Amino acid sequence: MMRLLQEIRSRTVDLFAEVGRYALFTGRLLMETPRALTRPSLVITQVHNAGALSLVIIMLSGLFVGMVLGLQGFDLLERFGSEDSLGTAAALGLVKELGPVVTALLFAGRAGTALASELGLMRATDQLSAMEIMAVDPIRRVVMPRFLGGIIAMPLLAAIFSMIGIFGAQLIGVQMMGVDPGQFWSQMRGAVEHGDIMEGVIKSCVFGVACSAIAVYEGFHSLPTAEGVGRATTRTVVISSVVVLLLDYMLTAVML
Amino acid sequence: MTTPQRPGAANDSCIVRIRGLSYAAGGRALFDGVDLDVERGAVTAIMGPSGTGKTTLLRLITGQIRPDAGELLVDGQDVTRLDRSGLYALRRRMGMLFQNGALLSDFDVFENVAFPLREHTRLPDRLIRNIVLPKLQAVGLRGAAGMMPYELSGGMARRVALARAIVMDPELLIYDEPFVGLDPISLGVVLRLIRELNDALGISSIVVSHDVREIAAVADSAYLLSGGRVLASGKPSALTDSDLPEVTQFMRGLPDGPVPFHYPAPDYAQQLFGEAPP
């Protein structure tokens, strides 16, 4: 029993220590942001890596999520005779919730793992140490552009996801199920407010900071071995997913 | 050729001066009161069996880790007391060759060598080109300027890393196990480069290695580390002729001696008959 309590205590202390390290690291990244923006070419390259290279998976996923939303939404709304509200339901669901959350989860799986493994490999092959010896701060030169690239890419990807998702819902609802297109679009325009869109934008920005910080933290601090890089990649996906869902609940509770 | 000295380092014939250095890692004392001098303009070898802490000593000299005790002066500056900016300013006057080259995998050979210049200066491309190409020419790889690191052999990667290490015209060049895994031709090339670059550029060099024969050919002086202390120091030939058992075993590559062939273990017969745990 005592051993169990000690184990729980030890794990709790470790957890808080890890959270503290994350907070300090993220704090340093945010402090370095103004300086990093003075080298925009490095950031733009990383926006391309994290954003443009994730476009296909984001667009495909958005399309299918939108189509499923169209099918399920139509089935549900038809029971109440309000299938004309499908556009509103799909748009609100995508813009406020599914767009930011699913984009963040996909981002963690595609761009997050790429970031973590890239940094982990740089650590394992002494590239980061070589930069230190060349008096080049690897946080400023390597980590910051990747962190900012992720933050900038996330809201853009979430917007594209939501847009394609609405198109998918329209494809199913209007083209297949026969919902009136005028009703679909006009009800959507009437019901979706500026605040709803801002809620999605805020969420995707917060998720962008969280996912990017987790990916670069795990990669930068990975053990310099093949196993260490693999573990950092796995931890990136697991921690990002849990944190995104946790943050989503907290943000929704605050903004509703 | 003499090397320009910092005002604080005037009259100091040593570019690196270590006194009473102690450092422990993982509960094990790697260094216990080590004294070591690296003469200006000379090639100094640091030798010792695997696991002695030779690479750790380089990390201490470059300020990547801090010692537990002792004084560590590089060009008159105490590395242990420097803050981050001071350390970076000092490192700009150092070059280091890593065991595996540590080339940046996203850049080709030219950009790898140009990297420190692009980070620390605002020189135009044409001038950077005029600095980088002679460095690549010096290591014999001007023709490989457009190749990516994954296209290079181990020896070529190390030569590119060497060109990168000298591109900022350092005063101190540090080599971490530069001969590991090289074929005889590449090894000969690296050996020649260590000596020639040291003399032509008027710099000081520290070479960490356990390849006794190779290092004896280029070093002006050598230190033999073992058990956390300096076992012997002097000219490589003097170390080779030493009659100290520890030094003799290392320099002649004897399998048994003060460093035993067998790791401490229970009695062999007892263990075979199951009277001692495996």
pLDDT digits (tens, 9 = 90+) for B10-41: 457 889 999 999 999 877 888 888 899 999 99
Question: What is the residue-averaged pLDDT of chain B?
Answer: 86
B92 interaction partners in chain A (CB closer than 8 Å): 135
Determine the structural domain holding residue B222 and report its residue range: 13-93+206-278
Closest approach of chain A CAs to the CA of B88, in angstroms?
Answer: 5
A38 interaction partners in chain B (CB closer than 8 Å): none
Within a domain: B273: yes
Cβ atoms within 10 A of the Cβ of B91, count? 24
pLDDT of B39-79, one tens digit each?
Answer: 999 999 998 877 788 889 999 999 999 999 999 999 888 99
Q: CB B64 to CB A129 under 8 A?
A: yes
Q: CB A136 to CB B96 under 8 A?
A: no
- What is the structure's pLDDT at B11? 53
**Residue B268: pLDDT above 90?**
no
Within a domain: B4: no
Lowest mean pLDDT among B54-58, B162-166, B227-231: B227-231
For the segment A80-100, the average pLDDT, to the nearest whole number, is 92
Q: CB B98 to CB A141 under 8 A?
A: no
- What is the structure's pLDDT at B205? 93
**Nearest CB partner across the interface for B120, out of A121, A129, A135:** A135
B160 interaction partners in chain A (CB closer than 8 Å): none
B168 interaction partners in chain A (CB closer than 8 Å): 134
- Which comes out higher in pLDDT, residue A150 or B275? A150
- What are the b/e assignments for A22-60, b being 16+ CB within 10 Å? beebbeebeebeeebeeeeebbeebbebbbeebeebbbe
**Nearest CB partner across the interface for A133, out of B94, B104, B105:** B94
For the segment B133-143, the average pLDDT, to the nearest whole number, is 91
d(CA A86, CA A179): 8
B120 interaction partners in chain A (CB closer than 8 Å): 135-136
Domains in chain B: how many in total? 1
Interface size, chain A vs chain B, as Cβ–Cβ contacts under 8 Å:
49
Pairing label, strands B94-97, B43-47: unpaired
- What is the structure's pLDDT at B137? 92
Q: What share of chain B is helix, strand, coil (3-state, %, to 5)?
A: 40, 25, 40
Closest residue, chain B, to A126 (C-alpha): B102
pLDDT of A144-174, one tens digit each?
Answer: 999 999 999 999 999 999 999 999 999 999 9
Task: Quote ipTM for the complex.
Answer: 0.81
* CATH number of B69's domain: 3.40.50.300
- What is the structure's pLDDT at B5? 44
- What is the structure's pLDDT at A251? 95
Within a domain: B177: no
Cβ atoms within 10 A of the Cβ of B76, count? 16
Lowest mean pLDDT among A188-202, A231-245, B46-60, B240-254: B240-254
Within a domain: B135: no
SS3 A54: helix
For the segment A18-30, the average pLDDT, to the nearest whole number, is 91
